[in-house]
């Protein structure tokens, strides 16, 4: 067992690849041995150093790696290929710099962005690595940088110190060995966790000069919920686990000092082992753009083949007649050269600046989300966060929303409302009752109080004994911590709000847990001090669904107190309690109908012999180095038997503000909402009715453990439900539990049936769902319908679901920040989801879709003029435009107007989305970017290229001459055509703008003006290289016919586009047209639009 799996044997170690030694993540079976404060033997194991690096590049790898990544984009590789083709002599009609410079600009912008991001990571790493800490090495205490800490060093921490490496606690200033740690860096939770040193090491205090020990533990792995090891001191072996473990990056709180030994350093620490990239998510619009690019590639190649054939034919059949061209190539060679030449010319049909423009726009749109004060929660001082800029437009194309319940729809503020004790209900539930827990003042009364219970608690009968035992259990069976104690004034801190609420309820009834001393819980019971010696704590986990404590009570008896889900508690009850069980089940259903969360509580008495025998088994399991958790669970299963049922608790978790209104808005927008919760069916259904997810006019389809006892039952029920849903009119909803889903998942035919049934329902409620089942439900919908899904939750149990969906939204709740850390977007409350989706998502989708369509349109209008000119130039590849005008077209003459449109335009104001959520229909049906729309815009570009070229070409060929009778020639026609092109494509942007701002006005005027400025300046700068352009614009601009041609050609080019805009708006209006006119001040037009009804979105 000596460092198995840590490093290869010494003889082959030097040849063993380094990356194989380092990539041993997740190995829970290997082990390593660490000698405490003995650096020499530790050095032979080559443990990782404590310095960390999270950078992506270094000075050597930046250029090649970044270039490799950028050229993985098909468009970038395409333009690189074209640029190199332009270097071939006698092939390219364009200056090679005209392609290299725009490509370099695009690559440079992305490279600078990547470099700045990596530079920030390097600075952060340097700051972390150079932090100071105090260590003991070879018995010498010294202060050193974090990067110098080694595995096996003893580390000295003071209050509020950051923990530099993963450590096992040796001693603390607390006599009981306790210390408190804030683990927000690991799990996002701000409540303090209690850790403790072993009694055997705590006795060393601050003097470790005579300490001789070694630790054997697992090899580095990413499991945050597992640490198993053994500590050997002077030949005696003790087990150490998570209670003795401190994570790197966490903060020591409320403790004067702590000594610990570093067991994992640097890349081996838990936090670095978990520092993996989240699942790569690409937006649907991005994938559709890639498909469009592929179509354009094929179109360009087909066009080049056509031109190449005609170029070869021209040389073969008419080459001799045009002897002055000095054509020396054969027809085949000329055809091949023609193919390459036109490939260079037509490459501009692919918008080079598209990727850069999209990235810039997405960054701005994501920034809008973070700056939106209407999504800022003042109560918690929490703004919305966009953790990625790649998916904002995806928010505007959603079809399904999957939501957790607790902490997402509800506030996760737990209040003890009612209880059932020995078959009797105590407490009254009033959903409108205001309690102390709401605001701390002006309340009607405490959340729970019952005079009848208090009087019975003071009696000596069986009911009195049960009541007293019930409150004793709640005061003792927990792992809460006491914070801020000042006399009788203190607060409870717990890992779960439910647990804190139960202990607080016991406190309010006179059973006050107020201190822990030497593993004893001190409880003030109705004014009398009682001491409960804690022998063992069997902690809660998602598999056990319960927790227990074994205590020696003041009367000397050993008792096991247990609380947990009703299903697991009922299975462990002793015989003879059937009547009580039945009554308690009825009470549980009653609580659930009121939307209350329930737990069952039970206990049993243990003899000294029974406990001693079990303790030996438990101790052996706790010393296991491998698979310790399952062995401890098996040991707990042995003792948690023959329990006596005491009753159940009922806790209220109220809805967050605005949840019903938000769900109603999202439903009206056409989105399907599925709630996935671990609560029991009755509770989930009640909450669903409260938040208007379910309504009384819906037909409810229920599949649960009672109606689907076997897999055949499930198959039959699903078939019948699907048939009935098809024939029944009106809204339908599905309610299904985890036990039924267990019988479905893993069987493709049943999964398909479940999906078909859910698709026909307006709402779906999945109760008793495990985290894995939540993930499977999301993947089921994604795989069967290729639907766009959003998952929203607030806890660690929601992370699988959040990562499975195309978009994950985390809520900054009371269950830590795990969901937020794994999400794409973070909001403080569920009510902000409607604005995130209906406003930001819809705007982003419409803006980016129009940006992409426009980019292909303008490049088609620009590039296809080469094709029309080829018919008059023998398909020789001559261009009608100047090379530098070509180079600057995408980056100067057609860049800013569409960019400002994409970041500023609003087709309707944000408040209109709340009034008319049906406007989301265009995203729901993916109407803003379709094949039909794409080719419509491409055809519009083709038409403009035809109208532009032929009007200008024939005008210059037949009529346009200077005052002295000379003709201007090719470049004058090209400059006139380019002028028409710049004017028309920018006028199209102007007519697409719905909300004008001064920025857009300046962008449009400045862009058009930049072309005329270029012409004026370039006629002098370019004179040496191109005599045709010398002093050209001074002559052309003085000719009235030039301006007349520009005007007429522009009108002809824009006529179909403007005509369709008028016809569409007046006779075939879209939803947003109607809303725009209804909000217009032109009342004479409102009458017509007021009679129109917005199209109701269909459920997808």
What's the confidence (pLDDT) of residue 11?
32
User: Does position 968 have pLDDT exceeding 50, yes or no?
Assistant: yes
pLDDT band at 1095 (very low <50, low <70, confident <90, very high): low
User: Does position 822 have pLDDT exceeding 80, yes or no?
Assistant: no
For tokens 């090495």, the residue is 137
| Residue closest to 401 by CA, chosen among 806, 685, 745, 704 | 806
Number of other residues whose CB lies within 10 A of the CB of residue 568: 15
Q: Could you write out the DSSP letters of every residue in 506-523?
A: HHHTTEEEEEEETTEEEE
Spatial separation of the C-alpha atoms in residues 453 and 554, rounded to whole Å? 24
pLDDT band at 22 (very low <50, low <70, confident <90, very high): very low
Residues 143 and 132: beta-carbon distance below 8 Å: yes
pLDDT higher at 660 or 188: 660
Query: What proportion of the chain, given as a percentage, has pLDDT over 90?
Result: 33
Buried b or exposed e, range 978-1010, using 16+ CB within 10 angstroms: bbbbbbbbbbbbeebbeeeeeebeebbeebbeb
pLDDT higher at 327 or 1074: 1074
Helix (H, G, I), strand (E, B) or coil at 1070: coil
Residue 586 falls in the annotated catalytic set:
no
pTM value surpassing 0.75? yes
Q: Could you write out the DSSP letters of every residue in 567-628?
A: HHHHTTBPSS-HHHHHHHHHHHHHHHHTTEEEEEEEEEEE-HHHHHHHHHHHHHHHT-SSSH
Average pLDDT of the segment spanning 825-842: 92
pLDDT band at 561 (very low <50, low <70, confident <90, very high): very high
What's the confidence (pLDDT) of residue 843?
94
pLDDT in tens, 1046-1061: 999 999 999 999 999 9
CA-based radius of gyration for the chain: 37
What's the confidence (pLDDT) of residue 347?
77
pLDDT band at 488 (very low <50, low <70, confident <90, very high): confident
pLDDT band at 593 (very low <50, low <70, confident <90, very high): confident
User: Does position 446 have pLDDT exceeding 70, yes or no?
Assistant: no
Average pLDDT of the segment spanning 489-494: 82
Give the helix ranges, DSSP H, for 250-353.
Answer: 270-273, 284-318, 331-346
Inter-helix orientation angle 970-992/842-863, to 10°: 160
Strands (E), 794-900: 807-811, 825-827
Spatial separation of the C-alpha atoms in residues 716 and 686, rounded to whole Å? 27
In order of 120, 141, 197, 1014, the CA distances from 248 in angstroms are: 21, 21, 17, 59
Spatial separation of the C-alpha atoms in residues 308 and 334, rounded to whole Å? 8
Helix (H, G, I), strand (E, B) or coil at 810: strand
> Could you say which DSSP state residue 4 is in?
T
pLDDT in tens, 1005-1055: 999 999 999 888 887 775 555 546 667 777 788 888 889 999 999 999 999
User: Does position 187 have pLDDT exceeding 70, yes or no?
Assistant: no
User: Does position 256 have pLDDT exceeding 60, yes or no?
Assistant: yes
For tokens 């270097």, the residue is 87
User: Does position 616 have pLDDT exceeding 80, yes or no?
Assistant: yes
Greatest Cα pair distance, the chain, in angstroms, is 124
User: Does position 12 have pLDDT exceeding 60, yes or no?
Assistant: no
Buried b or exposed e, range 965-974, using 16+ CB within 10 angstroms: eeebebbbbb
What's the confidence (pLDDT) of residue 104?
81
Give the helix ranges, DSSP H, for 882-997.
Answer: 883-888, 896-904, 910-915, 921-924, 931-958, 970-992
What's the confidence (pLDDT) of residue 728?
85
Average pLDDT of the segment spanning 221-248: 87
pLDDT band at 852 (very low <50, low <70, confident <90, very high): very high
User: Does position 450 have pLDDT exceeding 80, yes or no?
Assistant: yes
Helix (H, G, I), strand (E, B) or coil at 253: strand
Average pLDDT of the segment spanning 611-625: 86
Q: Could you write out the DSSP letters of every residue in 324-364?
A: GG---S-HHHHHHHHHHHHHHHHGGGS-TTHHHHHHHHHHH
What's the confidence (pLDDT) of residue 858?
93
pLDDT band at 275 (very low <50, low <70, confident <90, very high): low
| Residue closest to 550 by CA, chosen among 654, 635, 663 | 635
What's the confidence (pLDDT) of residue 117?
75
Helix (H, G, I), strand (E, B) or coil at 404: coil
Spatial separation of the C-alpha atoms in residues 215 and 557, rounded to whole Å? 37
What's the confidence (pLDDT) of residue 790?
94
Query: Residue 742, class by beta-carbon neighbours within 10 Å (0-12 exposed, 13-18 middle, 19+ buried)?
Result: middle
- Pick the catalytic residue from 404, 498, 794, 824: 404
508 token code pair:
């309010």
User: Does position 316 have pLDDT exceeding 80, yes or no?
Assistant: no
Mean per-residue pLDDT over the chain, rounded: 83
pLDDT higher at 701 or 485: 701
Average pLDDT of the segment spanning 260-278: 82
What's the confidence (pLDDT) of residue 8?
37
Give the helix ranges, DSSP H, for 608-765.
Answer: 608-622, 628-639, 659-668, 681-690, 711-727, 738-744, 748-759
What's the confidence (pLDDT) of residue 279?
58
Spatial separation of the C-alpha atoms in residues 696 and 630, rounded to whole Å? 45
Q: What is the dihedral of CA 255, 258, 262, 266, to 10 degrees?
A: 40
Spatial separation of the C-alpha atoms in residues 92 and 181, rounded to whole Å? 68
Average pLDDT of the segment spanning 601-606: 95
Q: φ, ψ for residue 918 (rounded to 5)?
A: -65, -15
| Residue closest to 104 by CA, chosen among 274, 342, 476, 353 | 353
What's the confidence (pLDDT) of residue 31?
83
pLDDT band at 23 (very low <50, low <70, confident <90, very high): very low
pLDDT band at 610 (very low <50, low <70, confident <90, very high): very high
Q: Could you write out the DSSP letters of every residue in 825-839?
A: EEESSGGGHHIIIII
């Amino acid at each position: 067992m000596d460092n198995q799996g840590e490093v290869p044997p010494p003889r082959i170690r030097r040849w063993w690849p380094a990356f194989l030694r380092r990539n041993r993540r997740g190995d829970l079976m290997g082990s390593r041995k660490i000698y405490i404060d003995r650096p020499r033997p530790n050095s032979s194991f080559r443990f990782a150093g404590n310095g960390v690096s999270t950078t992506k590049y270094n000075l050597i790898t930046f250029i090649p790696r970044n270039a490799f990544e950028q050229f993985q984009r098909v468009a970038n590789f395409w333009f690189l290929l074209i640029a190199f083709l332009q270097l071939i002599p006698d092939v390219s009609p364009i200056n090679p710099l005209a392609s290299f410079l725009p490509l370099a600009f695009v690559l440079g912008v992305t490279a600078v962005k990547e470099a700045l991001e990596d530079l920030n990571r390097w600075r952060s790493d340097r700051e972390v690595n150079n932090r100071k800490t105090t260590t003991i090495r070879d018995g010498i205490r010294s202060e050193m940088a974090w990067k110098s800490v080694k595995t096996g060093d003893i580390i000295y921490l003071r209050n509020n110190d950051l923990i530099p490496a993963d450590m096992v606690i040796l001693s603390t200033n607390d006599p009981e060995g306790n210390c408190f740690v804030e683990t927000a860096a690991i799990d996002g939770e701000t409540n303090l966790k209690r850790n403790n040193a072993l009694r055997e090491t705590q006795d060393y205090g601050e003097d470790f000069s005579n300490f001789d020990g070694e630790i054997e533990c697992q090899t580095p792995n990413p499991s945050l919920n597992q640490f198993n090891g053994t500590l050997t001191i002077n030949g005696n072996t003790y087990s150490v686990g998570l209670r003795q473990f401190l994570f790197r990056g966490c903060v020591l709180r409320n403790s004067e000092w702590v000594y610990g030994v570093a067991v994992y350093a640097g890349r081996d620490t838990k936090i670095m082992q978990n520092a993996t990239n989240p699942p790569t998510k690409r937006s649907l619009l991005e994938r559709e753009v890639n498909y469009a690019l592929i179509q354009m590639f094929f179109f360009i190649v087909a066009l080049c083949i056509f031109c190449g054939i005609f170029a070869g034919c021209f040389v073969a059949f008419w080459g001799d007649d045009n002897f002055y061209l000095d054509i020396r190539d054969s027809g085949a060679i000329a055809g091949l050269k023609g193919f390459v030449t036109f490939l260079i010319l037509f490459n501009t049909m692919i918008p080079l600046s598209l990727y850069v423009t999209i990235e810039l726009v997405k960054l701005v749109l994501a920034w809008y989300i973070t700056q939106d004060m209407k999504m800022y929660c003042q109560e918690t001082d929490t703004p919305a966060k966009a953790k990625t800029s790649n998916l904002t437009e995806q928010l505007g194309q959603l079809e399904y929303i999957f939501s957790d319940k607790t902490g997402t729809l509800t506030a996760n503020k737990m209040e003890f409302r009612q209880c059932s004790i020995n078959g009797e209900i105590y407490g009254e539930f009033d959903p409108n009752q205001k309690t102390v827990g709401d605001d701390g003042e002006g309340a009607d009364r405490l959340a729970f109080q019952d005079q009848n219970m208090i009087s019975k608690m003071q009696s000596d009968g069986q009911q009195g004994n049960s009541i007293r035992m019930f409150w004793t259990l709640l005061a003792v069976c927990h792992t809460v911590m006491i914070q801020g104690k000042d006399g009788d004034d203190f607060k409870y801190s717990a890992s779960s709000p439910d647990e804190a609420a139960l202990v607080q309820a016991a406190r309010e009834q006179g059973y006050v847990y107020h201190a822990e001393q030497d593993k004893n819980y001190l409880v003030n019971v109705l004014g009398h001090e009682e001491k409960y010696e804690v022998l063992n704590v069997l902690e809660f986990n998602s598999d056990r669904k319960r927790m227990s404590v074994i205590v020696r009570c003041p009367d000397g008896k050993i008792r096991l107190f247990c609380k947990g889900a009703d299903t697991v508690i009922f299975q462990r009850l002793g015989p003879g309690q059937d009547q009580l069980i039945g009554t308690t089940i009825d009470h549980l259903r009653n609580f659930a109908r009121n939307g209350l969360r329930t737990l069952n509580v039970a206990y049993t008495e243990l003899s000294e012999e029974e406990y001693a025998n079990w303790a030996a088994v438990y101790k052996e399991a706790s010393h296991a180095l491998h698979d310790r958790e399952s062995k401890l669970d098996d040991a707990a299963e042995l003792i948690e038997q023959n329990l006596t049922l005491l009753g159940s608790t009922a806790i209220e978790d109220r809805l967050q503000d605005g949840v019903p209104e938000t769900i109603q808005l999202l439903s009206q927008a056409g989105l399907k909402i599925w709630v996935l919760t671990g609560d029991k069916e009755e509770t989930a259904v009640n909450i669903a009715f409260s938040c208007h997810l379910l309504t009384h006019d819906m037909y409810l389809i229920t599949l649960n453990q009672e109606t689907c006892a076997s897999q055949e039952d499930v198959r039959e029920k699903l078939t019948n439900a699907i048939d009935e849903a098809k024939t029944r009119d009106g809204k339908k909803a599905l309610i299904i539990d985890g036990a039924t889903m267990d019988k479905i998942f893993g069987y493709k035919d049943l999964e398909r049936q479940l999906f078909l049934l859910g698709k026909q329902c307006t709402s779906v409620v999945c109760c008793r769902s495990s985290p894995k089942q939540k993930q499977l439900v999301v993947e089921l919908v994604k795989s069967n319908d290729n639907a766009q899904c959003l998952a929203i939750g607030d806890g660690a149990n929601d992370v699988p679901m959040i990562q499975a969906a195309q978009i994950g939204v985390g809520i900054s709740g009371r269950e830590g920040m795990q969901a937020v850390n794994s999400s794409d977007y973070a909001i403080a409350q569920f009510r902000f989801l409607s604005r995130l989706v209906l406003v930001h998502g819809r705007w982003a989708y419409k803006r980016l879709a129009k940006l992409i369509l426009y980019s292909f349109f303008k490049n088609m209008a620009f590039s296809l003029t080469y094709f029309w000119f080829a018919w008059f130039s023998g398909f020789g590849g001559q261009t009608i435009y100047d090379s530098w005008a070509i180079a600057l077209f995408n980056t100067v003459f057609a860049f800013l107007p569409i960019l400002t449109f994409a970041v500023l335009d609003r087709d309707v104001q944000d408040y209109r989305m709340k009034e008319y959520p049906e406007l989301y229909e265009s995203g729901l049906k993916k109407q803003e970017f379709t094949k039909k729309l794409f080719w419509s815009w491409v055809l519009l570009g083709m038409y403009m290229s035809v109208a532009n070229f032929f009007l200008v070409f024939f005008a210059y060929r037949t009529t346009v001459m200077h005052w002295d009778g000379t003709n201007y020639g090719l470049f004058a026609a090209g400059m006139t055509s380019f002028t028409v092109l710049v004017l028309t494509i920018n006028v199209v942007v102007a007519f697409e703008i719905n909300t004008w701002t001064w920025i857009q006005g300046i962008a449009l005027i400045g862009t058009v003006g930049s072309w005329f400025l270029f012409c004026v300046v370039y006629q002098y700068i370019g004179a040496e290289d191109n005599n045709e352009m010398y002093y050209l614009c001074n002559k052309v601009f003085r000719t009235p016919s030039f301006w007349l041609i520009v005007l007429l050609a522009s009108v002809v080019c824009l006529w179909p586009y403007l005509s369709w805009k008028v016809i569409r708006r007046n006779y075939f209006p879209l939803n947003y047209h109607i809303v725009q006119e209804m909000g217009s001040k032109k009342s004479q037009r409102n009458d017509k639009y007021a009679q129109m009804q917005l199209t109701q979105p269909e459920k997808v």
